[in-house]
Structure 1
């Protein structure tokens, strides 16, 4: 019988999606499932983006350029300029989602057996992207009691070896919602300069910052031009997850030249989606003002309700739309499956993402879950009520 590759067997399952069969079974049994497990916003996609696809004169749906159309990349560079990021169209490669951007970035700077240091917990697919490239993730643990702040630079120093090629961060963070300060980014700048590493920053949640806090981009750090790689996407910014348009941004010409070869090998990003993404750049600021106000409201509601449950500890996010909650259970994966498979309250239950899958250190996050506050406030309050009732029953 033909065998599956070592790499294929090592590829991790998604902690966000692997409980889907249990959720689908619950729905078939008549239970309403509130989805707190996935970062799919319920915010409407800007009409201007949808109209660009509906109302166009395309007669032949042809390939786009491998790096994305020049008009899109130029318009995107203007958007970045308004956000204090000075880049040209030539510094940008459009990709099929932020996921492909990460795959191209890792593929361009690492060889099999190389290492990337990542503060954990981190977006679970970083494990998958690294495994696909034969690269080892070296975790440096951030703690819920510190609100998942950047670990001490000394902790990074201990982990750097001749195989280390990059440090990868998500800012604001998925799954923690942590927003890195300018001081923290400057500390990372110093260490990548000292050891001649790349600093990859996944900045797809840039717009979503709260409490008057400001997002700081790695692309704005002076002296980091040859080290910084930014990953971006339209998915969350415009609630366009299905468009699958992301990008890589870097001023390092050798890196961009290499990443473009990966882009050429997969031919091109989807033409209609590029059209929608280019139109979305004309979305007025009022759209973001309303969305951010809504998410901040939801965050405040969710955190306040969770803090009412005995034994629950939660980190307060400053950005994105996720939080990590520590539950009074020993195995959050077992609880997340049980609450779908064996529990409901008035024919309603919730789906959360066990946080163990957001760590690569064995045993970390076993009593934590990631919650995406992508539902309205009324539903969030009901979700926390269900979790409270479920925890009491589960622990009895």
Structure 2
């Protein structure tokens, strides 16, 4: 039986595609440090469980397709702390940020339309675009420039009659870039001048280091009707498994129409929404501690990478990822070899090949993405093992 062209054209996630090899390594008794995935080991705040335990109804009913009131109100309160004002009708709860992005693309694009994305980008953007039958048009950002945006003309040169939006992650996954106010202003000017949407994936706004200033797209008050915000509790509260996100916009037509998509999947899980609504009561000290922890991990990872001969890596300023260029020909072959043929003291590491984070053919082949979600001691051990592995691999491939 023939399967759809759509599903056959989609790529497997470079973050997860090597999981079978990791599973086999574990069966052989090898411990695997997961540097491939942004799964925090930070404890989820107790407020989440508190909210879940408050559920006492005898029937677990459908929720409203837009989301339950208490959760929407908690998000409104949260955004006020960031000087962002939303009304209830300007927010729709989604099954994670993933559904928010997919719904946004489906609401603003017809099949064959285009969205402009800086590369490297979060690999699942490709998957969401494929499902929506939308084409990703990339423009390149470079490690030597800290993955900051290029000149305005380079971005606008990608705009065609089919362009509907610019999609950016800020802070960036997989690069760790934090866009300056001038960069966000430039993006806002581009969408204003060309009647486009700006899809702002701001999931990592809490994770900005080195005392840098964070600028939300929603601070550009002259662009509010063109901004579509995507957000999630997954990384902010280390609650990835809850699958609670949102899409929000001041554009009334967009919010009215996107609700149709929410209605097709009926609702987001009720108990998880109730639990997430209580996260607003998380003490501010939680975020101070978590940010300090990630900044320490960032420093550890960059210190070790900087010691490895031939590795090119800019120090990330936000989120908890980094793209590293290795002195090898193929990052995916190296990542697979780490799991199939290498171990040091019965331990190895799992990384994400970076080629899948690019849309331009040939880019990222000798790069990997690393996540620093491991605790400091585990991260130090993992990075030592990665250095030994790379030295071993290079000696083997030179033979």
Report the TM-score when normalising by structure 1: 0.99
| Residue matched to 1:231 | 230
Relative to structure 2, which stretch is displaced further, 68-77 or 244-253?
68-77
| Residue matched to 2:112 | 113
Contact 1:76 1:89 in 2 (8 A): no
| Residue matched to 1:57 | 56
Deviation at 1:55, TM superposition (A): 4.0
Mapping 1:355-374, distance limit 5 Å: 355-374=354-373
Answering whether residue 271 of structure 2 is matched by residue 268 of structure 1, we say: no
| Residue matched to 1:329 | 328
Paired residue secondary structure (2:281): coil
| Residue matched to 1:215 | 214
Taking the aligned partners of 1:157 and 1:103, their CA distance within structure 2 comes to 24
Taking the aligned partners of 2:297 and 2:253, their CA distance within structure 1 comes to 43
| Residue matched to 2:94 | 95
| Residue matched to 2:192 | 193
Taking the aligned partners of 2:309 and 2:339, their CA distance within structure 1 comes to 22
Taking the aligned partners of 2:369 and 2:147, their CA distance within structure 1 comes to 13
Taking the aligned partners of 1:241 and 1:358, their CA distance within structure 2 comes to 21
Paired residue secondary structure (1:64): coil
Taking the aligned partners of 2:73 and 2:122, their CA distance within structure 1 comes to 29
Give per-residue Cα distances to partners, 1:158-215, cap 9 Å, x unaligned.
1100000000000000000100111000001111001000000100111111011122
Structure 1: 5+ residue stretches without partners: none
Mapping 1:138-153, distance limit 5 Å: 138-153=137-152
Contact 1:66 1:260 in 2 (8 A): yes
Give per-residue Cα distances to partners, 1:256-295, cap 9 Å, x unaligned.
0111010011100000110111011111110000000000
Contact 1:119 1:151 in 2 (8 A): no
Contact 1:170 1:202 in 2 (8 A): yes
| Residue matched to 2:17 | 18
| Residue matched to 1:179 | 178
Answering whether residue 6 of structure 2 is matched by residue 7 of structure 1, we say: yes
Taking the aligned partners of 1:375 and 1:156, their CA distance within structure 2 comes to 35
| Residue matched to 2:248 | 249
Give per-residue Cα distances to partners, 1:81-111, cap 9 Å, x unaligned.
1111111111100001100000110000000
Paired residue secondary structure (1:310): coil
Give per-residue Cα distances to partners, 1:62-83, cap 9 Å, x unaligned.
1111010122112211110111
| Residue matched to 2:293 | 294
Paired residue secondary structure (2:176): coil
Structure 1 runs, 4 residues or longer, greater than 2 Å off: none
Taking the aligned partners of 2:33 and 2:198, their CA distance within structure 1 comes to 37
| Residue matched to 2:166 | 167
| Residue matched to 1:137 | 136
Taking the aligned partners of 2:213 and 2:275, their CA distance within structure 1 comes to 27
Taking the aligned partners of 2:281 and 2:63, their CA distance within structure 1 comes to 21
Contact 1:172 1:205 in 2 (8 A): yes
Relative to structure 2, which stretch is displaced further, 21-30 or 211-220?
211-220
Answering whether residue 359 of structure 2 is matched by residue 343 of structure 1, we say: no
Paired residue secondary structure (1:78): helix
Deviation at 1:395, TM superposition (A): 1.1
Deviation at 1:157, TM superposition (A): 1.3
Mapping 1:308-319, distance limit 5 Å: 308-319=307-318
Contact 2:35 2:349 in 1 (8 A): yes
Paired residue secondary structure (1:99): helix
Give per-residue Cα distances to partners, 1:318-372, cap 9 Å, x unaligned.
1100011111111000000001100000000000000001001001011111100
Give per-residue Cα distances to partners, 1:104-136, cap 9 Å, x unaligned.
100000000000000000000000000101100
Contact 2:55 2:271 in 1 (8 A): no
Count, aligned residues: 395
Structure 2: 5+ residue stretches without partners: none
| Residue matched to 2:66 | 67
Deviation at 1:391, TM superposition (A): 1.1
Aligned Cα root-mean-square deviation (Å): 0.8
Taking the aligned partners of 2:10 and 2:229, their CA distance within structure 1 comes to 25
Taking the aligned partners of 1:372 and 1:267, their CA distance within structure 2 comes to 34
